[in-house]
Amino acid sequence: MTISNEDKSNRENRRAPKAKISMITLGVRNLAASLAFYRDGLGFPTYNYVEGQNCIMFKLEGTWLALYPRASLADDAAVASRGSGFPGFALAHNVGSKALVDETFAVAVAAGATPVKEPQDVFWGGYSSYFADPDGFLWEVAWNPFTDLT
Amino acid sequence: MTISNEDKSNRENRRAPKAKISMITLGVRNLAASLAFYRDGLGFPTYNYVEGQNCIMFKLEGTWLALYPRASLADDAAVASRGSGFPGFALAHNVGSKALVDETFAVAVAAGATPVKEPQDVFWGGYSSYFADPDGFLWEVAWNPFTDLT
């Protein structure tokens, strides 16, 4: 099989994603216990946290950490929360536009990732997708119009 | 129960860890497949990688990503690789000295973390420990004399 010049050109013109993990989201069983551990125990600074929210973000140096109920994270990634299919956490790669979500998702799938959730508008106002790496570890590729994590 | 003034003072004098995830290590089943995916597929830059090494590090923007055989990562954390006790990945918090590993580990355990591997000299020349957060997610607290990830 040969690669046509057009295919090559498409491949070369597609930008490689920035080498960055924007956020690590841990799917937790008891949000209050995890908040107490990370905020009060380790001293990590929450970001815009309002009592009662179920997504808690910490702005760390270099990346973000989020806590989210385990079942909600599985729902968000459109996978079952029980069984071996859900690793219990997700890495996020944030980009600056919906078009870049589409493009980055396509790069990952072309590289052999398993598409898990096609890019789509999501309830919180962003645009998001999930793919799984060769071991089933989840990556969200997202555009967030409210907070720049890129 | 009341907290004595001495206890309070100890608590206040103990420095909070820097709010940072130094590295995310994914425990993978097929190192070659994962290397191909992350390096060739996503374009992530390896760091000092020599063909045949079983720990592959990528220097990303803001944090590091590492790939390590799943069973080796479990061994490193002194947990069983099968069953629900091993989440398949670890977050690392690197500090600048052995004493700071001891101190940070103690802060985490005082905050309710489960001690998994007491701080100790390890085979690769560093000094390392592991604790588990309330969900069993693993954190390594380590001093690496060769590469500054702090």
* pLDDT, averaged in runs of 10, over chain B (150 residues): 42 73 96 96 95 94 96 91 82 96 96 96 96 95 94
Residues in contact with A25: Cβ distance below 8 Å, sequence separation at least 6, in sequence order: A65, A66, A67, A68, A73, A89, A90, A91, A92, A140
Any CB–CB contact under 8 A between B55 and chain A?
Answer: no
What are the chain B neighbours of A28 within 8 Å (beta carbons)?
A: 134-135
Residues A93 and A149 in one domain: yes
Q: Which of A112, A149, A67, A137 is nearest to A128 (CA)?
A: A149
Residue A7 lies in a domain: no
Residues B99 and B76 in one domain: no
Residues B98 and B76 in one domain: no
Cut 0.90: pTM above it: no
Q: Which of B103, B148, B102 is nearest to B127 (CA)?
A: B102
Residues A76 and A108 in one domain: no
Question: Considering A36, A58, A80, which residue would you say is the last residue of a domain?
Answer: A80
Domain with residue A52: its CATH number is 3.10.180.10
Tokens of A130: 């999930």
- Residues A140-149: what's their mean pLDDT? 95
Taking chain B, what is the end-to-end CA distance rounded to the nearest angstrom?
Answer: 37
Residues A128 and A93 in one domain: yes
Residue B15 lies in a domain: no
Which pairs count as long-range contacts for A46-53, CB under 8 Å and 24+ apart, including other chains? A47/A147
Residue A94 lies in a domain: yes
Please state, in angstroms and rounded to a whole number, the distance separating the CA atoms of residues B133 and B137.
Answer: 5
Inform me whether the pLDDT recorded for A43 exceeds 90: yes
Task: State the pLDDT at residue B54.
Answer: 93
Number of domains in chain B: 2
Question: Considering B62, B80, B98, which residue would you say is the last residue of a domain?
Answer: B80
Residues B132 and B96 in one domain: yes
Nearest by CB to B63, from A41, A63, A87: name it: A63
Task: State the pLDDT at residue B84.
Answer: 67
Question: ∠ CA(A60), CA(B73), CA(A142), 5° rounding?
Answer: 40
Domain, as residue range, for B104: 88-150
Span A64-82, pLDDT tens digits: 999 999 999 999 998 887 7
Inform me whether the pLDDT recorded for A2 exceeds 70: no
CB A140 within 8 A of CB A95: no
Residues A94 and A144 in one domain: yes
Interface test with A, best of B57, B61, B131 (most A CBs within 10 A): B61
Name the minimum distance, in Å, from the CA of B137 to any CA of chain A: 8
Residue B6 lies in a domain: no
* Banded pLDDT at A86 (limits 50, 70, 90): confident
* Banded pLDDT at A84 (limits 50, 70, 90): low
Please state, in angstroms and rounded to a whole number, the distance separating the CA atoms of residues B125 and B144.
Answer: 8
Name the minimum distance, in Å, from the CA of A35 to any CA of chain B: 10
Residues B36 and B72 in one domain: yes
What are the chain A neighbours of B110 within 8 Å (beta carbons)?
A: 41
Residue A4 lies in a domain: no
Residue B51 lies in a domain: yes
Residues B102 and B150 in one domain: yes
Inform me whether the pLDDT recorded for A37 exceeds 50: yes
Task: State the pLDDT at residue A14.
Answer: 59
Residues A70 and A103 in one domain: no
Residue A31 lies in a domain: yes
* Banded pLDDT at A125 (limits 50, 70, 90): very high
Question: Considering A80, A105, A123, which residue would you say is the last residue of a domain?
Answer: A80
From residue A135, give the alpha-carbon distance in Å to each of A5, A65, A116, B122. Answer: 33, 22, 13, 27
Inform me whether the pLDDT recorded for A21 exceeds 80: yes
Q: How many CA atoms lie within 13 A of A76 on its CB side?
A: 27
Residue A50 lies in a domain: yes
Residues B71 and B93 in one domain: no
Residues B105 and B50 in one domain: no
Per DSSP, the residues of chain B read ----HHHHHHHHHSPPPPS---EEEEEES-HHHHHIIIIIIS-PPBSS--TT-S-EEEE-SSSEEEEEEHHHHHHHTTS-SSSTT--SEEEEEEESSHHHHHHHHHHHHHTTPEEEEEEEE-TTSSEEEEEE-TT--EEEEEE-SSS---
What are the chain A neighbours of B137 within 8 Å (beta carbons)?
A: 26, 88-89
